[in-house]
Structure 1
């Protein structure tokens, strides 16, 4: 009897141990699968007033769409990330990186020497030109014609820097007014409070289609400076990772497909 009781107790104990091991392994597998299934998320900062780079078609939805959005999602997707887009005034984008509100910025931003002091940049992904936008009957066509005029620019943009250079280096005496958003600048133009504005040509063309009373003239001098790059926090590992995928997209034609989609192939 003692022998049978001993065998029975041993069997029960062994069964319990095996069951516990099985449960532990199952939980570990479940937890592991759960962690793998959870997508890593990156927060992207952008100023959604810059079609076709980033904007909202309010008649259709409140979703931010555009060239930069597609590019960010394409690169992040290859790296195993999802992208959460955060709309911020352009002048607040670099501070948002510095304060870690966002992981990166993709917003048609030019990597100037001043900006490089506080953030890192990817390689250039798109090159555009500067354009003077004004009323059709204004007689303003080139920088020299801006003398004595009030000129609108987006705050903290490369165009604001260009306008200041015109005053300081080219000695073109004009009044520079800045606004947070491009639509505000166009509104001031239409209201006659601005004589002209300096806007990136790719963006300006969209507003010219909607505002038939406005005309645009490309600024030849210095127009190649408006290259756009992705901005990251200083020392971020994402800079190298994004750059690798960006250059792969340049080589395999994926970037060109996005250019054709959003700009009609004109660069």
Structure 2
């Protein structure tokens, strides 16, 4: 009788233990729950050990070739510092800037980092980092030019870089309809050379580029007070590369926090212009 009672008690305890362990059969194990705030799109992605950055190598001071034909510039230094923070190798690849989205989509480059303006149109095809600096589309004219304000561009030939954000910025302004011609160039350097020889009357260009050249030749060029608006620069990548975006954004935040980006900005612009 004692043995029977002992067996019954053992079975009862086992049943209670099994019930407690089983719980709700539909409940997922704790380890399967997604982390709060996680980005599902990047969950299964990995950041490549090497990233290729597409740039216009004739866009000083953002990215250009020095006297030794080496790639230098503000964005070059920023990209190198970011790659170091990310623990990846970086390669810089000069591209036709007018075809930058095709270069990115075809995976010939992984990032576009060269004074790339964030626009709503570009957001349709490009995933952007947060803006890291602000810029204006300024108007540069020759010293002694009668052009003093935007409306003086009526009947004039205005130069812009093909594929640049200067084009939609100018076209969005009603004054552009009064131009004799908006002439497109492969790069800003050639446009400014034509301005010097009076083949054109003005150049609309990114402020960082325009002021860089004006500072080199202060008696040759003048920057007008008027401009064609404010814009923001960001780093562009493919829409599906969320993991790369997150890693890069973390590096940019870290560089701002530890003073790296401010140091680079001071070297190129004489002040911290990082947003």
Equivalent pairs, count: 223
User: Which residue pairs with 1:230 in the alignment?
Assistant: 235
User: Which residue pairs with 1:203 in the alignment?
Assistant: 209
1:74 correspondence with 2:90: no
User: Which residue pairs with 1:162 in the alignment?
Assistant: 169
User: Which residue pairs with 1:185 in the alignment?
Assistant: 191
1:54 correspondence with 2:59: no
For 1:106, which of 113, 124, 146 is the aligned residue?
Answer: 113
In 1, the alpha carbon distance for the partners of 2:210 and 2:187 equals 13
In 2, the alpha carbon distance for the partners of 1:171 and 1:188 equals 20
Listed one character per residue, the Cα deviations across residues 126-163 of structure 1 (whole Å, up to 9, x for unaligned) are 11222111111112122111111110011111111111
In 2, the alpha carbon distance for the partners of 1:191 and 1:220 equals 23
Listed one character per residue, the Cα deviations across residues 210-242 of structure 1 (whole Å, up to 9, x for unaligned) are 3332211243562x22x1100001120211111
Equivalent residues of 2:150, 2:175 under 8 A apart: no
Deviation of the 1:40 alpha carbon: 2.6
Deviation of the 1:253 alpha carbon: 2.0
User: Which residue pairs with 1:258 in the alignment?
Assistant: 264
In 2, the alpha carbon distance for the partners of 1:86 and 1:256 equals 25
For 1:94, which of 101, 107, 110 is the aligned residue?
Answer: 101
Q: Aligned with 1:258: secondary structure?
A: helix
Residue ranges of structure 1 left out of the alignment (5+ in a row): 1-38
In 2, the alpha carbon distance for the partners of 1:92 and 1:218 equals 32
Q: Aligned with 1:109: secondary structure?
A: coil
Equivalent residues of 1:163, 1:176 under 8 A apart: no
In 1, the alpha carbon distance for the partners of 2:176 and 2:261 equals 40
* Higher helix content, 1 or 2: 1
In 2, the alpha carbon distance for the partners of 1:130 and 1:197 equals 10
User: Could you say if the C-alpha distance between residues 100 and 147 of structure 1 is closer, same or farther in structure 2, counting changes exceeding 3 Å?
Assistant: same
Equivalent residues of 2:74, 2:268 under 8 A apart: yes
Deviation of the 1:172 alpha carbon: 4.4
